[in-house]
Amino acid sequence: MASSSTRAVLYLRISLDREMDGLAIDRQREACEKIARDRGWEVVDVYIDQSKSATDKTKKRPDYDRMVADFRTGKFDAIVCWDLDRLTRQPRQLEDWIDAAEDRGLHLVTANGEADLTTDGGRMYARIKAAVARGEVDRKSARQSAAHIQRAKQGRAPKGTRPLGYATNGDVIEHEAEAVRKLYAYFAIKDGVSIAALAAGLSGKSAEHIPRSIPVLPAHRRTIMIERNERRRADGLPAKPVPENKPWTSSTVLGILRNPRYAGYSVYTNRMDRTESNKRRTWTAQILRDENNEPVMGQWSPIVTEEVWWAVQRRLDEPARITNRTGSTARKHVGSGLYLCGICDETVKAHSQRYRCASDEPYPHSLMRSRSQVDAWVLTVVRARLARPDLADTLPTRDEPRLKRIDAQIDLHKGKIARAQYDYDNEIIEGFDLKRVREREKTFITALETERDKLVIGSDLGPVLRSSDPVMAFDAADLMIKRRIVDFFCTVRLHPHPRGKKNFDPATVEITPKALAHV
Ligand SMILES: [Zn+2]
């Protein structure tokens, strides 16, 4: 290539890094211009960045970025800089430039005589330098990770922004912890409230489907900034702007429900694991485990029990939930998805002021019932049941050892399916065998889950059923508790309302008491 056609750019940088001399821009420029002149290159642009570390990926170097963009569009064929450290100290970037020199004929020369990437020897030197630099970066992050892991193994609170409910030192902040407890308690209930409704409750909104007993809190980011400003003021520093008090979002509440720290688990996040695709899995993977695979417990007080935490994770992991994050699985009326259609025995849906079933099976029908009339009657019947003196006898006691055994058994059966799947993938068994194993194990799992639900119901509904005035407690309870209690005691079937009849006829709402197997 004729040297007269070479278009060169200069890259100059003043660094305040302690390891670097504060070499003046003018001197860098003179030396670089001399190189270009000596080689007969035309200088088409000069890029200058100031006082930024070349190692830190997060710090912006606008002119460097502009230079990279210009190189991509073919604006120049040569770069002259003072030394490679000044160009970049990120090994990845240096390797990119070496590749450009090798593959695309980029000339890269340093004025201090360190490297000339137009030669094989110069490129090799630069590669070694990049490799050494990469090693340093890796060692540095390994050192930092080791410190974080050690911290976590000792069960000390992780550094960084404090989560809702905990002070930076790990102490419990009671009024926030109460909100965390409520969020977990509500969400642990099967078919209970949606995440969006929890966020709304925390933000102080009210509607029939929003739990009323969740404490209303200002946005956490706002609280954090106010606290930081208090510390800044104590240090004689000016306050920073405080974010507006925005409503809580579902994603923030989800982060609370997923955080293992609330169950007392010590956590460690490998930054490399934090990719978009496996976000959902990483929460439980963050729980630090000892050599026996037992979770390491933090030195802070848990805000929720391990059982509640895992119940919440199970509900979050339900497949219906993962594909349907808006929370429309949660119901807004007592009977939707609960009462049955008296014609087809499928559950009815809420449709404006009515409950409705429209189906072609077993014959085309459209059932419509007034929601307020039906609910009023059902609630009257349930209240009457709650007022009976034998109520306490109907309640199962929560049997934790039995629950643990059920969970272990469920895991065992799931493991059998996973093993069969593995054997099938490795062509050890046939598809027929896999199907057989799967069906058999699923039968076991379903039975165990049903038993689990029956045991758990006592703790969900206990506060109402064990109350000294169950009827009053029922009336004051949130919607999903009411639904669970209705479901606990009876099956409701809606029959068509006789034509021409004006008044509500209770006979058209068939309420069958459930056989309480555990009584
Ligand atoms: Zn129907």
3-state SS of the chain: helix, strand, coil percent to 5? 50, 10, 40
Q: How far is the CA of 341 from the centre of ligand 1 (A)?
A: 5
- pLDDT digits over 330-348, tens only? 567 899 889 999 999 999 9
277 pLDDT tier (thresholds 50, 70, 90): very low
| Residue 134 or residue 419, greater confidence | 419
CA–CA gap between residue 170 and residue 241 (Å, rounded): 26
- On average, the pLDDT of the chain sits at 81
Dihedral of CA atoms 220, 478, 349, 387 in degrees, nearest 10, equals 170
Q: How far is the CA of 492 from the centre of ligand 1 (A)?
A: 13
Q: Is 67 within 8 Å of 11 (Cβ atoms)? A: yes
**pLDDT above 50 for 13:** yes
Q: How far is the CA of 360 from the centre of ligand 1 (A)?
A: 8
**pLDDT above 60 for 282:** no
Residue owning tokens 């688990």 = 265
Q: How far is the CA of 424 from the centre of ligand 1 (A)?
A: 41
pLDDT at 91: 78
Q: How many CB atoms lie within 10 A of CB 142?
A: 10
> Torsions phi, psi of 276, nearest 5?
-60, -40
pLDDT at 272: 47
Tokens of 60: 């912006």
| Domain boundaries of the chain, sorted by first residue | 3-138, 174-323, 331-395+466-519
Q: How far is the CA of 353 from the centre of ligand 1 (A)?
A: 18
pLDDT at 343: 92
Q: Is 311 within 8 Å of 456 (Cβ atoms)? A: yes
pLDDT at 173: 95
The beta strand positions in 70-200, using DSSP E, are: 78-81, 107-110
- pLDDT digits over 72-91, tens only? 899 999 999 988 888 887 77
Kindly tell me the sign of the dihedral angle through the C-alpha atoms of 37, 41, 47, 49: negative
406: nearest Cα among 314, 481, 489: 314
Q: How far is the CA of 473 from the centre of ligand 1 (A)?
A: 33
**pLDDT above 80 for 508:** yes
Q: How far is the CA of 368 from the centre of ligand 1 (A)?
A: 10
Q: How far is the CA of 123 from the centre of ligand 1 (A)?
A: 77
CA atoms within 13 A on the CB side of 316: 24
> What single DSSP character describes residue 83?
-
Q: How far is the CA of 324 from the centre of ligand 1 (A)?
A: 25
Q: How far is the CA of 494 from the centre of ligand 1 (A)?
A: 9
458 pLDDT tier (thresholds 50, 70, 90): low
Q: How far is the CA of 483 from the centre of ligand 1 (A)?
A: 20
**pLDDT above 70 for 270:** no
- pLDDT digits over 437-452, tens only? 988 888 888 888 877 7
pLDDT at 269: 65
Of 11-20, 104-113, 153-162, 496-505, the least confident: 11-20
Of 141-155, 214-228, 257-271, 433-447, the least confident: 141-155
pLDDT over 90, % of the chain: 26
Q: Concatenated DSSP letters for 248-272?
A: PPHHHHHHHHH-GGGGTB-B---GG
Residues 456-468, mean pLDDT to the nearest whole number: 74
Q: How far is the CA of 447 from the centre of ligand 1 (A)?
A: 27
Residue owning tokens 């508790």 = 481
What is the length of the chain?
A: 519
pLDDT at 17: 47
> What single DSSP character describes residue 508?
G
CA–CA gap between residue 516 and residue 48 (Å, rounded): 79
279 pLDDT tier (thresholds 50, 70, 90): very low
pLDDT at 289: 79
Residues 386-409, mean pLDDT to the nearest whole number: 77
Q: Is 457 within 8 Å of 518 (Cβ atoms)? A: no
476 pLDDT tier (thresholds 50, 70, 90): confident
| Residue 224 or residue 156, greater confidence | 224
CA–CA gap between residue 187 and residue 248 (Å, rounded): 16
**Could you tell me whether strands 365-370 and 340-341 are parallel, antiparallel, or unpaired per DSSP bridges?**
unpaired
Q: How far is the CA of 348 from the centre of ligand 1 (A)?
A: 7
Kindly tell me the sign of the dihedral angle through the C-alpha atoms of 73, 78, 80, 84: positive
Residues 283-301, mean pLDDT to the nearest whole number: 79
517 pLDDT tier (thresholds 50, 70, 90): very low
Q: 110-116: long-range contacts (C-beta < 8 A, 24 or more apart)?
A: 110/80, 110/81, 110/82, 110/83, 110/84, 111/28, 111/31, 111/32, 111/34, 111/35, 111/80, 111/81, 111/82, 111/83, 112/31, 112/82, 112/83, 114/83, 114/84, 115/84
Q: For residue 471, what are the β-bridge partners?
A: none
Tokens of 437: 């194993």
**pLDDT above 70 for 488:** yes
Q: How far is the CA of 346 from the centre of ligand 1 (A)?
A: 6
> Torsions phi, psi of 252, nearest 5?
-65, -45
**pLDDT above 80 for 373:** yes
| Residue 401 or residue 200, greater confidence | 200
**pLDDT above 60 for 273:** no
Q: How far is the CA of 509 from the centre of ligand 1 (A)?
A: 14
For 3-138, CATH number? 3.40.50.1390
CA–CA gap between residue 483 and residue 239 (Å, rounded): 49
Q: How far is the CA of 510 from the centre of ligand 1 (A)?
A: 14
CA–CA gap between residue 399 and residue 18 (Å, rounded): 64
Q: How far is the CA of 493 from the centre of ligand 1 (A)?
A: 10
Residues 229-237, mean pLDDT to the nearest whole number: 89
Q: How far is the CA of 191 from the centre of ligand 1 (A)?
A: 22
CA–CA gap between residue 310 and residue 323 (Å, rounded): 20
Residues 493-501, mean pLDDT to the nearest whole number: 85
453 pLDDT tier (thresholds 50, 70, 90): confident
Q: How many CB atoms lie within 10 A of CB 507?
A: 8
pLDDT at 274: 44
